[in-house]
Amino acid sequence: MIKKLIFSAFILLLAPLFYAASDSGASKVAKAPLRGDPISGEGKVMVCAGCHGVDGNSVVGQWPTLAGQRESYLFDQLEHIKDGERVIASMMGLLDAYDYDDLRDMAAYYAAQKVKVGQADKSNLALGEKIYRAGNLNSGVPACTGCHGAKGKGIESAGYPMLSGQKAEYVVTSLVAYQSGQRGHDSKGKSMQGIAARLTLEEIQAVANYVSGLY
């Protein structure tokens, strides 16, 4: 009888610790990322149409295509721009009137659009494909497929952007900006700085051309 009482008391003493551990574990469960409303977003992106096209397919090489881009990546970039962490002269103050829910809606709208993939130039296509799919072992450049996928679709869960159909001119400008340190404010950006630093201008132009026609 005494042994049973001691055992019961021991269980009662452990119970709070058990529940505390359970609550702690539950609090560490990853929460699903917030998603925007693409329908609401359609009415908020008119300010973007001049550079990125009505449906997010840019018609000018220096401005990126946003159609079909990963929603999480788009929101992150819009947030960085709004907060002044990523400086783009043409977008200075453009997002001041929008809150973070607006930015999520805008990102959701563009993510729901279909990207129009262009025709890559054949002149340096082979080199671009080699860099994208195999990297450059001699200079330590990893294959782009590891983060952006075999078809350039990116990885939503990891926040890696889609490259398929992106404007070649914009990709060149971005990689050069990574090289110089003008771009790369977060951990992924820092990784891109290291990769871009190992690329030659010829390789940059080739891989930019390749992804512009990748699908």
At which residue do the structure tokens 């819009």 appear?
Answer: 78
CATH architecture of 122-212: Orthogonal Bundle (1.10)
pTM: 0.82
Domain residue ranges of the chain, discontinuous segments joined by +: 38-111, 122-212
The terminus-to-terminus CA distance of the chain in angstroms comes to 75
- As a CATH number, domain 38-111 is 1.10.760.10
CATH fold match for the domains 38-111 and 122-212: yes
Spell out the per-residue pLDDT of the chain, length 215, in tens. Answer: 444 444 444 444 444 433 344 444 444 444 556 889 999 999 999 999 999 999 999 999 999 999 999 999 999 999 999 999 999 999 999 999 999 999 999 999 999 999 999 999 999 999 999 999 999 999 999 999 999 999 999 999 999 999 999 999 999 999 999 999 999 988 999 999 999 999 999 999 999 999 999 98
